[in-house]
Structure 1
Amino acid sequence: MSSNGTGYDLSASQFSPDGRVFQIEYATKAVAKSGTVIGLRGKDCVVLAVEKIICSKLYEDDAGGRLFTIERNIGMAIAGLLADGNFIADIARQEAANYRQQYEHTIPLEQLCERVSGYMHAYTLYSAVRPFGLTVIFGSWDEMQGPQLYKIEPSGSFYGYFCCASGKAKQQAKTEMDKLRFNMKAEELIKSAGEIIYKIHDELKDKDFRFEMGVVGKETNGQHCINPSVYTEMARNAGDAASKEEDSDNEIN
């Protein structure tokens, strides 16, 4: 077999001669074709924002959502295969429920990430299964730990972040995030989320998209809310304004 990977991509449990696991790389490519998802962590709030590409005008507005509530104070956003995301959301809810039943307390986000990432990593170890074509972003807030933001990769590795992104415009989103400052307040964080998603949307490739958002923090009394009307409208208005300003700048140049 040649060293370019021929024959080494049939199983997730096999390394290529140069130490690569191609099935995990393919899963990462599946994530890269998805609509962009970002997570922003502020002073007392975490915002998860999604660029949901509208594949058909016949779908209902809430069809194919990429935001989930796992626990009262824990939200989850996914980039990648939607079916895989629904499955992992169920696993995360089971883990959160098991912890609550055993300890009578909400599961700490880091422990939830450890359990879910371990589950995702197990699917990279055996030839009978395939890795999840999925990146998972968790956000939470509580009085003791404050805002927390974690991202799990298809390989099962996870890290804590101040800001993170996944999907087709991941790099552009990171460029916009580099301009932000940490410890922003909720309103500023929500507007920034809208501006980033609207700026990075590629109208030539994907004409129609729906902005969706999950918010958890002091402003929501520690409860994860999906598409709260006031905050979502605020983010969409900020995104529209930023997008129009960018278009006018491009026309002048």
Structure 2
Amino acid sequence: MTSIGTGYDLSASTYSPDGRIFQVEYAAKAVENSGTAIGLKVKDGVVLAVEKLIHSKLLVPEANRRIQTIDRHIGMSRKQILADRLGLYIQAYTLYSSVRPFGISTILGAVGKDGPSLYVVEPSGVFFGYNGAAVGKGRQLAKTELEKLKLSELTTSEAVYEAARIIYLVHEDAKEKEFELELSWIGHETNGVHLQVPKDLHGDAEAKAKAALETIYLVHEDAKEKEFELELSWIGHETNGVHLQVPKDLHSDAEAKAKAALETFE
């Protein structure tokens, strides 16, 4: 609490001279210091992922989930109404001195007749629709990674891998803390029902995310403290004489083999 807000931060209904509501800003700050959560709206559904930090080794694994199912068939309802209703409810807690704003940002994913949708409701009650969304401590890096993806071309199965990769990437800044990766999806693969991602797919996505994070190349060793991206392109018989980016599956396979080859020198 700073001197700037002194006297103006005691109530959610008090405006500062420059038009700020400090109680709402404090609630937003609480969200910024929490674990990262992301949502990806893709062509056949929505994938949600959460970095759930483990604050104690005594916690029961997979307990205290941060991804919840509001309604089993929420994909069949009118999503805008739900986001609007939740936004109005949260906003009501910013209007009166007897209550305090919610220190949460909520990501809502659903599927309806007009396709998948993704919304974020902020502590102020404001909500927006997104193709890709991120909240929490690693939101900036997560948003940067989401912007690199062609979300409209991905399936939910592909998005699960991307979501896991992004969560592991943003966790690097807090890698001294253990965390659990939560993944859920709704869409064609689940017949419109919001479910946790199956354990086999979840495990595979985590393994690939870890492998991608650990990828290092021999020529990069002299500058390994600096981050880099590998770009690969080709032209020839395989591309019918057209210069193209190397396909993602081949690109990933090449990265994995490069990492394995590097480890033989260590």
- Structure 2 length as normaliser, TM-score? 0.78
Does 1:7 pair with 2:7? Answer: yes
For the residues of structure 2 that align with 1:247 and 1:72, how far apart are their CA atoms? 45
Q: Indicate the residue corresponding to 1:145 in structure 2.
A: 114
State the identity as a percent.
Answer: 48
Q: How has the CA–CA distance of structure 1 residues 247 and 74 changed in structure 2, closer, same or farther, with 3 Å as cutoff?
A: farther
1:251 is matched with which residue: 224, 233, 236?
224
Q: Indicate the residue corresponding to 1:63 in structure 2.
A: 63
For the residues of structure 2 that align with 1:121 and 1:49, how far apart are their CA atoms? 25
Does 1:237 pair with 2:237? Answer: no
Q: Which has the higher contact order (CA 8 A, sep 6+)?
A: 1
Q: Indicate the residue corresponding to 1:187 in structure 2.
A: 157
Q: Indicate the residue corresponding to 1:121 in structure 2.
A: 91
* 8 Å CA contact 1:40, 1:189 repeated in 2: yes
**Number of aligned residue pairs:** 221
1:211 is matched with which residue: 173, 176, 181?
181
Structure 1 residue 145: deviation in Å?
2.0
Superposed, 1:163-174 pairs within 5 Å as: 163-174=132-143
* 8 Å CA contact 2:69, 2:194 repeated in 1: yes
SS at match of 2:125: coil
Q: Indicate the residue corresponding to 1:162 in structure 2.
A: 131
SS at match of 1:9: coil
For the residues of structure 1 that align with 2:61 and 2:197, how far apart are their CA atoms? 12
Structure 1 residue 243: deviation in Å?
1.2
Between 133-142 and 65-74, report the one with greater CA deviation. Answer: 65-74
Q: How has the CA–CA distance of structure 1 residues 70 and 19 changed in structure 2, closer, same or farther, with 3 Å as cutoff?
A: same
Moved over 2 A (4+): 202-207, 246-253
For the residues of structure 2 that align with 1:124 and 1:9, how far apart are their CA atoms? 12
Unaligned runs of 5+ in 1: 76-105
Return the structure number with greater strand share: 1
For the residues of structure 1 that align with 2:16 and 2:119, how far apart are their CA atoms? 30
Unaligned runs of 5+ in 2: 227-266
Structure 1 residue 59: deviation in Å?
0.8
Structure 1 residue 74: deviation in Å?
3.7
For the residues of structure 2 that align with 1:208 and 1:37, how far apart are their CA atoms? 16
* 8 Å CA contact 2:49, 2:183 repeated in 1: yes
Does 1:40 pair with 2:58? Answer: no
Structure 1 residue 203: deviation in Å?
5.5
Between structure 1 and structure 2, the one with the greater Rg is 2
Instruction: Give per-residue Cα distances to partners, 1:79-137, cap 9 Å, x unaligned.
Output: xxxxxxxxxxxxxxxxxxxxxxxxxxx53111011111110000000000000000000
For the residues of structure 2 that align with 1:246 and 1:159, how far apart are their CA atoms? 38
CA RMSD of aligned residues (A): 2.1
Q: How has the CA–CA distance of structure 1 residues 27 and 247 changed in structure 2, closer, same or farther, with 3 Å as cutoff?
A: farther
Q: Indicate the residue corresponding to 2:236 in structure 1.
A: none
- Structure 1 length as normaliser, TM-score? 0.82
